[in-house]
Structure 1
Amino acid sequence: MSEETDLVRRGYNALSYRYRGDDADESEYAPWLETLQSRLPTRASVLDLGCGCGVPVARSLAAAGHEVTGVDISDVQIQRARRLVPAATFVQADAMTLDLPSASFDAVVCLYALIHMPLEQQPDLIERIAAWLRPSGWLLATTGWEDWTGTEDNWLGGSAPMWWSHTDAATYRSWLQKAGLEVTSQEFVPEGDSGHALFWARKPSSRYDHPRAH
């Protein structure tokens, strides 16, 4: 685990409840999760990568009857997730060293997590996510909109710093396509003075169903 990754882990350990309470209003996520569920088969297998405390993604999908596996680097977040969403499975792990079987998920959700991972390793992770998806599987992910790497002290007004590392949306789009995924939608999600890119990307249903250039 890199020094920066450990800083992220310690930051979420310290500020887990400040970042998101057990009953936080997450209406921003609702349209994304509704769209995802409309695209999933019955009792789908879903990976929530960077699941945090399990709210709202894992909780919403598990409540709909899907088999959810949540992964997060923060042990405090994972402990909370196991309590808040007992129907799902949660694993504390560094996404960069995560080893999962190929074609094991109908969808991978990675919201506000990729941007906390070392930038030089993110293309490889996207390649592995694509491998974890079953044919016709979906990736729902937020990325950076602009290029930036840095640390914020006293994050969320607390006592812990936080670290981010991300490139721009066009580069993420190219990485997704290079991994063999078809980008079906890209939108800007504002936050503060800038924001994030929200991507929907689909794995082709067969080797003859190649992603189209956009």
Structure 2
Amino acid sequence: MTADFLTATRTFYDAIASDYAERFRSEYDKRPVERAMLEVFVERVGAGGEVADLGCGPGRVTGRLAALGLSVFGLDLSESMLAIARRENPGLRFVQGSMLELEVADGALDGVLCWYSSIHTPDDRLPDLFREFRRVLRPGGHLLLAFQVGDVARRHENPWGHRVTLDFLRRRPEEMTALLADAGFTLYSSTVRQPDAELDELSPQAFLLAAL
């Protein structure tokens, strides 16, 4: 496996973890669509369902899923992000790793959340990523995928004064849906909302909920 993009992603988020966590501390107060999609995901998975929050960052969504009744753990490449997640969610489990190679048994999970974390995976690795999601989900398990819509990556350079750079890849919902179907998923819902100027967004936001 070519690890260059994994190293770049880890380095970027290790550098910005504290600033990122502070900047987005209360972001869900202003995101009703996102809150609604997470609640739909929880209902589809079912109370007590075993779920992985992959690319969990500072663990805000992991904590929200736990509060909504799921048995959830978080995974991220960045140890700096995980340190914040553990500090802010002391009762939850957080592990370092790549979502392309999960240390999870086949069919062990009821749900997978990939919340804006596939946006650093190169196009040619998305089929591998979605096959890995299928591997760890039981029959009937659910996947919720969130990402920005578009065709051109947005490059973030020197955020908050840190000397790091990373591309945030944008995708089309119909293309992602086709890749999910190739991996064995059936689409349950596709939601796209337009960019919110108050949140300084430049792209529409997509949410795909799929099941095995």
TM range (shorter): 0.7 to 0.9
Aligned equivalent of 1:100, options 98, 101, 104: 104
After superposition, the Cα gap between the structure-2 partners of 1:83 and 1:134, relative to the gap in structure 1 and judged at 3 Å, is same
Aligned equivalent of 2:26, options 18, 24, 27: 24
TM, length-normalised to structure 1: 0.84
In structure 1, the partner of 2:198 is none
Shift of 1:107: 0.8
Q: How many residues align?
A: 202
Q: Is the 8 A contact 2:148 2:203 kept in 1?
A: no
Shift of 1:157: 5.9
The 2-side partners of 1:137 and 1:2 are apart by 29
The 2-side partners of 1:176 and 1:128 are apart by 11
Shift of 1:198: 1.1
RMSD value, Cα: 2.1
Shift of 1:37: 2.0
Q: Is the 8 A contact 1:102 1:131 kept in 2?
A: yes
Show the 5 A alignment for 1:28-177: 28=31, 29-55=34-60, 57-149=61-153, 151-155=155-159, 158-177=162-181
After superposition, the Cα gap between the structure-2 partners of 1:65 and 1:150, relative to the gap in structure 1 and judged at 3 Å, is closer
1:15 is aligned to 2:16 = yes
TM, length-normalised to structure 2: 0.85
**Structure 2 spans left out of the alignment, 5+ residues:** 196-200
After superposition, the Cα gap between the structure-2 partners of 1:25 and 1:166, relative to the gap in structure 1 and judged at 3 Å, is closer
**Structure 1 spans left out of the alignment, 5+ residues:** 204-214
